[in-house]
Structure 1
Protein backbone atom coordinates (compact mmCIF):
# COMPACT_ATOMS: atom_id res chain seq x y z
CA UNK A 1 0.00 0.00 0.00
CA UNK A 2 1.69 3.15 -1.25
CA UNK A 3 1.60 6.71 0.18
CA UNK A 4 -1.50 8.84 -0.26
CA UNK A 5 -3.80 5.82 -0.17
CA UNK A 6 -7.04 6.05 1.84
CA UNK A 7 -8.90 2.90 2.87
CA UNK A 8 -12.32 3.41 4.50
CA UNK A 9 -15.13 1.18 5.73
CA UNK A 10 -15.28 -2.54 5.17
CA UNK A 11 -12.40 -3.30 2.79
CA UNK A 12 -10.73 -6.62 2.00
CA UNK A 13 -7.51 -6.61 -0.04
CA UNK A 14 -6.17 -9.91 -1.39
CA UNK A 15 -2.64 -11.30 -1.25
CA UNK A 16 0.11 -9.65 -3.30
CA UNK A 17 -2.12 -6.75 -4.35
CA UNK A 18 -0.54 -3.34 -5.01
CA UNK A 19 -2.61 -0.32 -3.99
CA UNK A 20 -1.65 3.27 -4.73
CA UNK A 21 -0.15 5.71 -4.61
CA UNK A 22 -2.98 8.20 -4.19
CA UNK A 23 -5.80 5.68 -4.29
CA UNK A 24 -9.08 5.60 -2.34
CA UNK A 25 -10.88 2.34 -1.58
CA UNK A 26 -14.21 2.38 0.25
CA UNK A 27 -16.33 -0.65 1.26
CA UNK A 28 -14.87 -2.90 -1.45
CA UNK A 29 -13.22 -6.27 -2.05
CA UNK A 30 -9.97 -6.33 -4.02
CA UNK A 31 -8.67 -9.65 -5.39
CA UNK A 32 -5.23 -11.22 -5.22
CA UNK A 33 -2.43 -9.73 -7.33
CA UNK A 34 -4.58 -6.79 -8.40
CA UNK A 35 -2.88 -3.44 -9.05
CA UNK A 36 -4.78 -0.18 -8.49
CA UNK A 37 -2.92 3.08 -9.22
CA UNK A 38 -4.16 6.62 -8.50
CA UNK A 39 -7.82 5.61 -8.65
CA UNK A 40 -11.06 5.36 -6.66
CA UNK A 41 -12.95 2.14 -5.93
CA UNK A 42 -16.21 2.46 -4.00
CA UNK A 43 -18.73 -0.18 -2.88
CA UNK A 44 -17.54 -2.65 -5.53
CA UNK A 45 -15.86 -6.01 -6.09
CA UNK A 46 -12.64 -6.32 -8.06
CA UNK A 47 -11.34 -9.75 -9.15
CA UNK A 48 -7.87 -11.27 -9.22
CA UNK A 49 -5.03 -10.19 -11.52
CA UNK A 50 -6.81 -6.94 -12.44
CA UNK A 51 -5.11 -3.65 -13.33
CA UNK A 52 -6.95 -0.41 -12.64
CA UNK A 53 -5.77 3.12 -13.37
CA UNK A 54 -4.28 5.51 -13.25
CA UNK A 55 -7.20 7.89 -12.76
CA UNK A 56 -10.00 5.34 -12.99
CA UNK A 57 -13.24 5.53 -10.99
CA UNK A 58 -14.99 2.31 -10.04
CA UNK A 59 -18.31 3.56 -8.73
CA UNK A 60 -20.82 1.69 -6.55
CA UNK A 61 -22.25 -1.67 -7.49
CA UNK A 62 -19.55 -2.52 -10.01
CA UNK A 63 -18.30 -6.08 -10.21
CA UNK A 64 -15.00 -6.34 -12.05
CA UNK A 65 -14.04 -9.88 -13.15
CA UNK A 66 -10.61 -11.54 -13.22
CA UNK A 67 -7.70 -10.50 -15.49
CA UNK A 68 -9.49 -7.27 -16.44
CA UNK A 69 -7.88 -4.00 -17.49
CA UNK A 70 -9.59 -0.74 -16.53
CA UNK A 71 -7.25 1.98 -17.76
CA UNK A 72 -6.79 5.71 -17.36
CA UNK A 73 -9.89 7.91 -17.21
CA UNK A 74 -12.31 4.99 -17.27
CA UNK A 75 -15.41 5.11 -15.09
CA UNK A 76 -17.76 2.26 -14.25
CA UNK A 77 -21.05 2.46 -12.36
CA UNK A 78 -23.40 -0.42 -11.54
CA UNK A 79 -21.56 -2.56 -14.07
CA UNK A 80 -20.65 -6.23 -14.33
CA UNK A 81 -17.37 -6.36 -16.26
CA UNK A 82 -16.48 -9.89 -17.41
CA UNK A 83 -13.21 -11.78 -17.17
CA UNK A 84 -10.37 -10.72 -19.48
CA UNK A 85 -12.32 -7.75 -20.79
CA UNK A 86 -10.70 -4.35 -21.12
CA UNK A 87 -11.45 -0.68 -21.34
CA UNK A 88 -8.02 0.85 -21.68
CA UNK A 89 -8.84 4.57 -21.66
CA UNK A 90 -11.36 7.41 -21.72
CA UNK A 91 -14.60 5.44 -21.35
CA UNK A 92 -17.82 5.50 -19.31
CA UNK A 93 -19.49 2.15 -18.66
CA UNK A 94 -22.60 2.66 -16.54
CA UNK A 95 -25.60 0.38 -15.98
CA UNK A 96 -23.98 -2.29 -18.12
CA UNK A 97 -23.33 -6.00 -18.38
CA UNK A 98 -20.05 -6.60 -20.20
CA UNK A 99 -19.23 -10.22 -21.08
CA UNK A 100 -15.87 -12.00 -21.17
CA UNK A 101 -13.08 -11.11 -23.61
CA UNK A 102 -14.71 -7.82 -24.65
CA UNK A 103 -12.64 -4.88 -25.92
CA UNK A 104 -14.01 -1.37 -25.42
CA UNK A 105 -12.04 1.07 -27.55
CA UNK A 106 -11.00 4.54 -26.42
CA UNK A 107 -13.97 6.84 -25.87
CA UNK A 108 -16.60 4.10 -25.62
CA UNK A 109 -19.69 5.31 -23.80
CA UNK A 110 -22.76 3.51 -22.56
CA UNK A 111 -25.47 6.15 -22.86
CA UNK A 112 -27.59 4.95 -19.96
CA UNK A 113 -29.67 8.00 -18.97
CA UNK A 114 -32.39 9.83 -20.91
CA UNK A 115 -32.83 12.60 -18.34
CA UNK A 116 -35.50 10.67 -16.46
CA UNK A 117 -34.70 6.94 -16.46
CA UNK A 118 -31.61 4.70 -16.52
CA UNK A 119 -31.34 1.81 -18.97
CA UNK A 120 -29.14 -1.29 -19.32
CA UNK A 121 -26.50 -1.91 -22.00
CA UNK A 122 -25.47 -5.52 -22.65
CA UNK A 123 -22.22 -6.33 -24.44
CA UNK A 124 -21.90 -10.06 -24.93
CA UNK A 125 -18.77 -12.24 -24.89
CA UNK A 126 -16.05 -11.47 -27.41
CA UNK A 127 -17.59 -8.26 -28.73
CA UNK A 128 -15.33 -5.47 -30.00
CA UNK A 129 -16.44 -1.87 -29.58
CA UNK A 130 -14.52 0.58 -31.78
CA UNK A 131 -13.15 3.89 -30.53
CA UNK A 132 -15.49 6.82 -29.93
CA UNK A 133 -18.66 4.72 -29.96
CA UNK A 134 -21.90 5.46 -28.13
CA UNK A 135 -24.16 2.59 -27.13
CA UNK A 136 -27.58 4.14 -26.47
CA UNK A 137 -29.40 1.98 -23.93
CA UNK A 138 -31.38 -0.11 -23.80
CA UNK A 139 -29.27 -1.97 -26.34
CA UNK A 140 -27.48 -5.31 -26.73
CA UNK A 141 -24.31 -5.96 -28.71
CA UNK A 142 -24.33 -9.67 -29.51
CA UNK A 143 -21.64 -12.26 -28.94
CA UNK A 144 -18.60 -11.71 -31.17
CA UNK A 145 -20.11 -8.61 -32.81
CA UNK A 146 -18.10 -5.57 -33.87
CA UNK A 147 -19.10 -1.93 -33.63
CA UNK A 148 -17.25 0.35 -36.07
CA UNK A 149 -15.34 3.31 -34.65
CA UNK A 150 -17.38 6.49 -34.38
CA UNK A 151 -20.73 4.73 -34.28
CA UNK A 152 -23.80 5.69 -32.30
CA UNK A 153 -25.66 2.42 -31.83
CA UNK A 154 -29.40 2.69 -31.07
CA UNK A 155 -30.55 -0.79 -32.11
CA UNK A 156 -29.41 -4.26 -31.03
CA UNK A 157 -26.41 -5.66 -32.90
CA UNK A 158 -26.79 -9.39 -33.75
CA UNK A 159 -24.17 -11.98 -32.88
CA UNK A 160 -21.08 -11.86 -35.15
CA UNK A 161 -22.40 -8.78 -37.02
CA UNK A 162 -20.58 -5.55 -37.88
CA UNK A 163 -22.53 -2.43 -36.94
CA UNK A 164 -21.65 0.81 -38.71
CA UNK A 165 -23.76 3.67 -37.37
CA UNK A 166 -22.28 6.94 -38.57
CA UNK A 167 -22.83 9.47 -41.33
CA UNK A 168 -20.71 9.35 -44.45
CA UNK A 169 -17.93 11.93 -44.70
CA UNK A 170 -18.62 14.96 -46.86
CA UNK A 171 -15.88 17.45 -47.75
CA UNK A 172 -16.90 21.02 -48.66
CA UNK A 173 -14.18 22.26 -50.99
CA UNK A 174 -12.96 25.82 -50.35
CA UNK A 175 -15.43 26.23 -47.47
CA UNK A 176 -13.00 28.14 -45.26
CA UNK A 177 -11.99 30.51 -48.06
CA UNK A 178 -15.62 31.26 -48.94
CA UNK A 179 -16.80 31.83 -45.37
CA UNK A 180 -14.07 34.40 -44.72
CA UNK A 181 -14.89 36.42 -47.89
CA UNK A 182 -17.98 37.90 -46.23
Structure 2
Protein backbone atom coordinates (compact mmCIF):
# COMPACT_ATOMS: atom_id res chain seq x y z
CA UNK A 1 0.00 0.00 0.00
CA UNK A 2 2.83 2.39 0.87
CA UNK A 3 4.43 1.84 -2.54
CA UNK A 4 1.17 2.61 -4.35
CA UNK A 5 0.81 5.88 -2.47
CA UNK A 6 4.47 6.81 -3.03
CA UNK A 7 4.18 5.97 -6.74
CA UNK A 8 1.00 8.06 -7.02
CA UNK A 9 2.70 11.04 -5.41
CA UNK A 10 5.67 10.75 -7.79
CA UNK A 11 3.35 10.58 -10.81
CA UNK A 12 1.41 13.65 -9.65
CA UNK A 13 4.66 15.57 -9.12
CA UNK A 14 5.90 14.67 -12.59
CA UNK A 15 2.62 15.81 -14.16
CA UNK A 16 2.74 19.11 -12.25
CA UNK A 17 6.34 19.70 -13.34
CA UNK A 18 5.49 19.00 -16.99
CA UNK A 19 2.48 21.32 -16.91
CA UNK A 20 4.54 24.03 -15.22
CA UNK A 21 7.30 23.66 -17.80
CA UNK A 22 4.80 23.98 -20.67
CA UNK A 23 3.28 27.07 -19.04
CA UNK A 24 6.71 28.65 -18.62
CA UNK A 25 7.53 28.03 -22.29
CA UNK A 26 4.28 29.71 -23.33
CA UNK A 27 4.96 32.70 -21.04
CA UNK A 28 8.52 32.94 -22.37
CA UNK A 29 7.14 33.01 -25.92
CA UNK A 30 4.62 35.76 -25.06
CA UNK A 31 7.33 37.74 -23.26
CA UNK A 32 9.70 37.48 -26.23
CA UNK A 33 6.99 38.36 -28.77
CA UNK A 34 5.95 41.45 -26.79
CA UNK A 35 9.50 42.65 -26.12
CA UNK A 36 8.90 42.58 -22.36
CA UNK A 37 11.65 42.11 -19.78
CA UNK A 38 9.51 39.81 -17.60
CA UNK A 39 6.07 38.24 -17.76
CA UNK A 40 3.67 36.33 -15.52
CA UNK A 41 0.10 35.07 -15.81
CA UNK A 42 -2.23 35.45 -12.84
CA UNK A 43 -5.84 35.95 -11.82
CA UNK A 44 -7.04 39.48 -11.03
CA UNK A 45 -8.49 39.77 -7.53
CA UNK A 46 -9.05 43.50 -7.08
CA UNK A 47 -7.78 46.92 -7.99
CA UNK A 48 -8.72 47.52 -11.62
CA UNK A 49 -11.95 47.30 -13.59
CA UNK A 50 -11.92 43.57 -14.10
CA UNK A 51 -13.96 40.83 -12.49
CA UNK A 52 -12.62 38.65 -9.74
CA UNK A 53 -10.43 35.83 -11.08
CA UNK A 54 -10.12 37.39 -14.54
CA UNK A 55 -7.15 35.72 -16.27
CA UNK A 56 -4.43 38.30 -16.91
CA UNK A 57 -0.95 38.46 -18.36
CA UNK A 58 1.38 40.95 -16.68
CA UNK A 59 4.29 42.29 -18.72
CA UNK A 60 7.21 44.32 -17.38
CA UNK A 61 8.75 46.82 -19.78
CA UNK A 62 11.52 49.35 -19.16
CA UNK A 63 9.03 52.09 -18.20
CA UNK A 64 5.77 50.36 -17.24
CA UNK A 65 3.84 47.27 -16.23
CA UNK A 66 1.11 46.28 -18.67
CA UNK A 67 -1.80 44.15 -17.49
CA UNK A 68 -3.54 42.38 -20.39
CA UNK A 69 -6.90 40.65 -20.08
CA UNK A 70 -7.96 39.30 -23.48
CA UNK A 71 -6.69 42.40 -25.28
CA UNK A 72 -8.01 44.85 -22.69
CA UNK A 73 -4.87 46.57 -21.39
CA UNK A 74 -4.06 48.56 -18.28
CA UNK A 75 -0.73 50.34 -17.79
CA UNK A 76 1.06 51.39 -14.62
CA UNK A 77 4.06 53.61 -15.24
CA UNK A 78 7.12 52.59 -13.23
CA UNK A 79 7.51 56.23 -12.19
CA UNK A 80 4.24 55.78 -10.25
CA UNK A 81 5.06 52.34 -8.87
CA UNK A 82 6.11 52.04 -5.24
CA UNK A 83 6.54 48.29 -4.76
CA UNK A 84 5.66 44.84 -5.95
CA UNK A 85 5.29 42.21 -3.25
CA UNK A 86 4.36 38.58 -2.96
CA UNK A 87 2.30 37.65 0.09
CA UNK A 88 0.69 34.40 1.13
CA UNK A 89 -2.80 34.26 2.50
CA UNK A 90 -1.38 33.12 5.83
CA UNK A 91 0.62 36.33 6.03
CA UNK A 92 -2.51 38.37 5.43
CA UNK A 93 -5.31 36.64 7.28
CA UNK A 94 -6.11 36.12 10.89
CA UNK A 95 -8.63 33.72 12.34
CA UNK A 96 -12.11 34.65 11.09
CA UNK A 97 -11.04 38.11 9.90
CA UNK A 98 -11.00 38.90 6.23
CA UNK A 99 -8.60 41.78 5.83
CA UNK A 100 -8.03 41.21 2.12
CA UNK A 101 -9.73 44.44 1.12
CA UNK A 102 -7.53 46.48 3.46
CA UNK A 103 -4.32 44.51 3.81
CA UNK A 104 -3.68 43.50 0.23
CA UNK A 105 -3.49 47.10 -0.85
CA UNK A 106 -1.60 48.03 2.29
CA UNK A 107 0.62 50.92 3.19
CA UNK A 108 4.18 51.44 2.04
CA UNK A 109 6.56 51.85 4.92
CA UNK A 110 9.98 51.83 3.28
CA UNK A 111 10.36 54.01 0.16
CA UNK A 112 11.79 52.21 -2.83
CA UNK A 113 11.34 48.57 -1.91
CA UNK A 114 8.45 49.06 0.44
CA UNK A 115 6.59 46.54 2.49
CA UNK A 116 2.90 46.07 2.72
CA UNK A 117 1.35 46.29 6.15
CA UNK A 118 -1.96 48.22 5.97
CA UNK A 119 -5.22 47.38 7.59
CA UNK A 120 -3.76 45.04 10.17
CA UNK A 121 -4.98 46.75 13.34
CA UNK A 122 -6.31 44.33 15.92
CA UNK A 123 -4.72 41.31 14.32
CA UNK A 124 -3.57 38.55 16.59
CA UNK A 125 -1.22 35.71 15.91
CA UNK A 126 -3.67 32.91 15.21
CA UNK A 127 -3.56 31.74 11.59
CA UNK A 128 -6.26 30.36 9.32
CA UNK A 129 -5.79 26.69 8.54
CA UNK A 130 -6.21 25.26 5.07
CA UNK A 131 -4.93 26.05 1.61
CA UNK A 132 -2.81 29.18 1.41
CA UNK A 133 -3.05 31.32 -1.68
CA UNK A 134 -0.19 33.41 -3.03
CA UNK A 135 -0.85 37.00 -4.09
CA UNK A 136 1.15 39.43 -6.21
CA UNK A 137 0.41 42.99 -5.12
CA UNK A 138 1.43 46.03 -7.15
CA UNK A 139 1.41 49.33 -5.23
CA UNK A 140 1.39 52.60 -7.12
CA UNK A 141 0.33 56.22 -6.84
CA UNK A 142 -2.91 56.75 -8.78
CA UNK A 143 -3.96 59.82 -10.79
CA UNK A 144 -5.37 61.40 -7.61
CA UNK A 145 -1.97 61.17 -5.89
CA UNK A 146 -3.17 58.45 -3.51
CA UNK A 147 -1.57 55.09 -2.86
CA UNK A 148 -3.48 52.36 -4.68
CA UNK A 149 -2.93 48.71 -5.43
CA UNK A 150 -3.88 45.92 -7.72
CA UNK A 151 -3.86 42.34 -6.50
CA UNK A 152 -3.40 39.09 -8.42
CA UNK A 153 -3.57 35.44 -7.43
CA UNK A 154 -1.07 32.86 -8.65
CA UNK A 155 -0.70 29.51 -6.89
CA UNK A 156 0.91 27.61 -9.77
CA UNK A 157 4.23 29.26 -10.42
CA UNK A 158 5.52 30.77 -7.20
CA UNK A 159 9.15 30.90 -8.39
CA UNK A 160 8.19 32.89 -11.49
CA UNK A 161 5.92 35.19 -9.46
CA UNK A 162 8.82 35.97 -7.11
CA UNK A 163 11.18 36.59 -10.05
CA UNK A 164 8.62 38.91 -11.67
CA UNK A 165 8.22 40.80 -8.40
CA UNK A 166 12.00 41.11 -8.02
CA UNK A 167 12.33 42.37 -11.61
CA UNK A 168 9.61 44.99 -11.06
CA UNK A 169 11.27 46.21 -7.86
CA UNK A 170 14.66 46.41 -9.61
CA UNK A 171 13.10 48.50 -12.41
CA UNK A 172 11.39 50.75 -9.86
CA UNK A 173 14.75 51.27 -8.18
CA UNK A 174 16.46 52.04 -11.50
CA UNK A 175 13.75 54.52 -12.49
CA UNK A 176 13.62 56.29 -9.11
CA UNK A 177 14.60 59.91 -9.62
CA UNK A 178 13.04 61.65 -6.65
CA UNK A 179 14.99 62.48 -3.52
CA UNK A 180 13.76 60.96 -0.29
CA UNK A 181 14.28 63.09 2.81
CA UNK A 182 14.31 61.18 6.09
Shorter-chain TM-score tier: under 0.3
TM-score normalised by structure 2 residue count: 0.24
TM-score normalised by structure 1 residue count: 0.24
Whose RCO is larger (CA < 8 A, sep 6+)?
A: 2
Q: Between Structure 1 and Structure 2, which shows a larger proportion of strand residues?
A: 1
Q: Between Structure 1 and Structure 2, which shows a larger proportion of helix residues?
A: 2
